[in-house]
């Protein structure tokens, strides 16, 4: 978020406030930063608005507790935190607002291709063909790419090497994952009947 910006004059320590008011002000600062950001905010950025001895993790935890029962929550995603609407309110949002393509609206096959890419990345179209037993259309790859769920991965240095595909940070955000390590393991998928 605030990568190469000069430090602004901000009283981070708030030493003139009693401890309980200082903690509350630090929570509100974190809330303001998360509210203003459209993407996950890393710990380092949040640490810039609180005192040096403050625990960003505990402040976020207390803020999350304050939000219990609200329509939105704080989620840990891709190594940072962000606000997101609780899933229970998705139908209300769809009914009241023009959300366009903000919702994924993916078919089961689209999700299966995304999962294959996530588990086997970097993977080529031929690698996907081996998994699914059929050619994966350029149209499907294009749709996933246009939604920023996948990107191109590393290519072999040899001439004419095929493109590979990898998942993106947006993939992690869309599925509420902090990292690819949060994907279910194969045994969990078998137990759920998703794979055989």
pLDDT, tens digit (0-9, with 9 covering 90-100), for 52-69: 989 999 999 999 999 999
Q: Residue 110 belongs to what domain range?
A: 104-191
Beta bridge partners of 152: 165
Q: Is residue 9 part of a domain?
A: no
Quick one: average pLDDT of 79-107?
77
Q: Is residue 28 part of a domain?
A: yes
pLDDT, tens digit (0-9, with 9 covering 90-100), for 2-21: 556 665 689 999 999 999 99
Predicted local confidence at residue 155, as pLDDT: 82
Q: Is residue 11 part of a domain?
A: no
110 with 185, same domain: the answer is yes
Question: Other C-beta atoms within 10 Å of 38: how many?
Answer: 8
56 with 119, same domain: the answer is no
Q: Is residue 27 part of a domain?
A: yes
80 with 109, same domain: the answer is no
User: Total domain count for the chain?
Assistant: 2
82 with 146, same domain: the answer is no
47 with 124, same domain: the answer is no
Strands (E), the chain: 41-42, 72-77, 80-85, 150-152, 165-167
41 with 81, same domain: the answer is yes
CB 92 within 8 A of CB 136: no
Quick one: average pLDDT of 97-102?
57
Task: Kindly state the DSSP code that residue 160 receives in the 8-state scheme.
Answer: T
80 with 121, same domain: the answer is no
Q: Which two tokens stand for residue 152?
A: 């191109």
Question: Other C-beta atoms within 10 Å of 165: how many?
Answer: 28
Predicted local confidence at residue 159, as pLDDT: 84
32 with 81, same domain: the answer is yes
Predicted local confidence at residue 73, as pLDDT: 93
114 with 144, same domain: the answer is yes
Task: Note the pTM of the prediction, 2 decimals.
Answer: 0.60
Q: Which two tokens stand for residue 162?
A: 């095929």
| Residue of higher predicted confidence among 154 and 2 | 154
Predicted local confidence at residue 1, as pLDDT: 53
CB 90 within 8 A of CB 104: no
Predicted local confidence at residue 193, as pLDDT: 59
Separation of first and last alpha carbons in the chain = 42
CA dist., res. 157 & res. 175, Å (int): 32
132 with 174, same domain: the answer is yes
CB 49 within 8 A of CB 81: no
Q: Is residue 181 part of a domain?
A: yes
List the CATH number of the domain containing 131. Answer: 1.10.10.10
35 with 114, same domain: the answer is no
Task: Kindly state the DSSP code that residue 17 receives in the 8-state scheme.
Answer: S
pLDDT of 78 > 60? The answer is yes
Share of the chain above pLDDT 70, in %: 87
pLDDT band at 79 (very low <50, low <70, confident <90, very high): confident
pLDDT, tens digit (0-9, with 9 covering 90-100), for 163-173: 899 999 889 88
163 with 115, same domain: the answer is yes
Quick one: average pLDDT of 29-50?
94
Query: Average per-residue pLDDT in the chain?
Result: 86
Q: Is residue 7 part of a domain?
A: no
CA dist., res. 82 & res. 185, Å (int): 25
Task: Kindly state the DSSP code that residue 27 receives in the 8-state scheme.
Answer: H
Q: Is residue 10 part of a domain?
A: no
């Amino acid at each position: 978020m605030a990568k190469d910006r000069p430090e602004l004059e901000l009283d981070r320590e708030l030493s003139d406030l009693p401890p309980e008011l200082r903690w509350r002000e630090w929570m509100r600062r974190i809330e303001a930063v998360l509210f203003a950001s459209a993407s996950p905010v890393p710990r380092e950025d949040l640490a810039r608005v609180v005192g040096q001895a403050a625990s960003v993790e505990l402040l976020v935890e207390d803020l999350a507790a304050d939000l219990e029962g609200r329509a939105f929550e704080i989620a840990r995603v891709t190594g940072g935190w962000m606000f997101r609407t609780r899933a229970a309110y998705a139908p209300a949002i769809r009914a009241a607002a023009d959300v366009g393509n903000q919702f994924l609206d993916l078919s089961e096959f689209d999700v299966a291709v995304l999962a294959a890419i996530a588990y086997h990345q970097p993977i080529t179209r031929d690698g996907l063909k081996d998994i699914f037993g059929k050619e994966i259309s350029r149209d499907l790859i294009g749709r996933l790419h246009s939604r920023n769920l996948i990107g191109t991965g590393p290519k072999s240095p040899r001439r004419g090497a095929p493109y590979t595909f990898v998942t993106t940070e947006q993939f992690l955000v869309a599925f509420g994952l902090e990292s690819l390590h949060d994907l279910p393991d194969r045994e969990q998928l078998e137990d759920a009947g998703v794979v055989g």
